Structure 1
């Protein structure tokens, strides 16, 4: 059976857990040579060893770390095809007037500055080598249908979606595609922050009740969407916000 991403090389940020680990697993199964990055050395090493892929500890808010990851991709595999900007951050759900400066800064540094740096560092590689490329950002339904309590997280994800559309138009003539995947809250290491309370079945009931299909997004859901967008099947798809949300945004 022909694998959908055979021979491709991908960078997946935040690949040490949650959606990122799920995307890395799916891409590896589909024939991709994967480089995951994460702030956690332990988590990143564990996932990389389990999948047989590469791991680099990297901070997505630092230009030199992006440069190191690109260098690793070229030196190790001789190419780069796919970039999945999955790493993200939020603060605990709370009234907007109580948000602290460092919480605001964290959201925009991790969620938005990382996209700026990935494009600034990696786009020249695709442009100078006249290579098609695929950038996939993990945005959020929060950027499309915001709700109270996470104003600056929501705003940062809206920026992700807008930047994705802008770059999709700008680089379409170069065959470099930009798309965003927008999950609804799932059960990950950040769920308790989105809820503003412990991640328990009881505490999840309220937001699950707003999802027509009755559950949150899983790493498998997000990984399958990313695999499609990265594949040749989606060669004419760019600038979309693909809602992976069980009908939440309808």
Structure 2
């Protein structure tokens, strides 16, 4: 059951076409928010909007490549033009990890991954914060990192570096904007059953049964809905004294 803890709020979720982003957008809509579904994949984004509307919620689709500054600015402008303001943002957009050792990394893929997974979060913060500062009244931003932002893995140097960077961006943004009552926090998902994880496992020739016991004290992958619940709590006033923090949705992986 979802309670209306985001009633009358306007929320923006990047990478909301599938996986954790789609689950978050749907959960936020169920909690009363009007949701801007931002994604580069138009078909996937529109599908999330249709699902929200079919459930009685309010949503709009915004096409964006978060690595491009003008597109990110336009994304935020479009949200405000549609709904009048911005209250909550979840910066979730990301692409799949790299699969080569550091001595062999693909520079083109490095640049693309960093553009989306790290610069994309920085750009989203830039324009979201500008809007929240301009309108006043505070707000809540959640950045999506990963367990790989805390415990690295081999053959994924770009992904690990980017997710460490997201944690750092979160702390800086929280420090700079706390006096404005703008809270900035981070969610660090563990092994979550999403299309991105499935693609990553396939590229590495691995299966869930081989990996889950190593990445979860609960011996299973998490669900996108479970991560969305963490973001919902951080987005709401239930977490009103929390900023600059990381919530690990990882079944205890980083505690062991």
Instruction: Give the TM-score range, shorter chain.
Output: over 0.9
Q: Matched residues in 2 for 1:71 and 1:128: separation?
A: 12
Aligned position for 2:68: 62
What is the Cα deviation at residue 62 of structure 1? Answer: 1.3
Aligned position for 1:238: 243
Match of 2:195 among 189, 192, 200: 189
Q: Matched residues in 2 for 1:101 and 1:93: separation?
A: 12
What is the Cα deviation at residue 153 of structure 1? Answer: 0.4
What is the Cα deviation at residue 167 of structure 1? Answer: 1.1
What is the Cα deviation at residue 198 of structure 1? Answer: 6.5
> Does the 8 Å CA contact 2:139/2:182 hold for their aligned counterparts?
yes
Aligned position for 1:166: 172
Q: Does 1:215 pair with 2:220? A: yes
Q: Matched residues in 1 for 2:226 and 2:3: separation?
A: 21
Aligned position for 2:32: 31
Per-residue deviation, residues 126-179 of structure 1 (Å, max 9, x unmatched): 222222011101100001011212121011000001110111111111111110
What is the Cα deviation at residue 92 of structure 1? Answer: 4.1
Q: Does 1:203 pair with 2:172? A: no
Secondary structure of 1:233's match? helix
Unaligned runs of 5+ in 1: none
**Cα RMSD (Å) of the superposition?**
1.7
Aligned position for 2:159: 153
Unaligned runs of 5+ in 2: 54-58
> Does the 8 Å CA contact 1:145/1:249 hold for their aligned counterparts?
yes
Q: Matched residues in 2 for 1:114 and 1:159: separation?
A: 11
Aligned position for 1:10: 11
Q: Matched residues in 2 for 1:193 and 1:91: separation?
A: 9
Q: Does 1:100 pair with 2:106? A: yes
Q: Matched residues in 1 for 2:178 and 2:151: separation?
A: 27
What is the Cα deviation at residue 185 of structure 1? Answer: 2.2
Aligned position for 2:123: 117
Secondary structure of 1:197's match? helix
Q: Matched residues in 1 for 2:149 and 2:186: separation?
A: 11
Q: Matched residues in 1 for 2:4 and 2:238: separation?
A: 12
For this pair of structures, how many residues does the alignment match? Answer: 248
TM-score (norm 1): 0.94
Q: Matched residues in 1 for 2:204 and 2:153: separation?
A: 19
What is the Cα deviation at residue 190 of structure 1? Answer: 1.6
Q: Matched residues in 2 for 1:161 and 1:196: separation?
A: 27
> Does the 8 Å CA contact 1:93/1:193 hold for their aligned counterparts?
no
Aligned position for 2:89: 83
TM-score (norm 2): 0.91
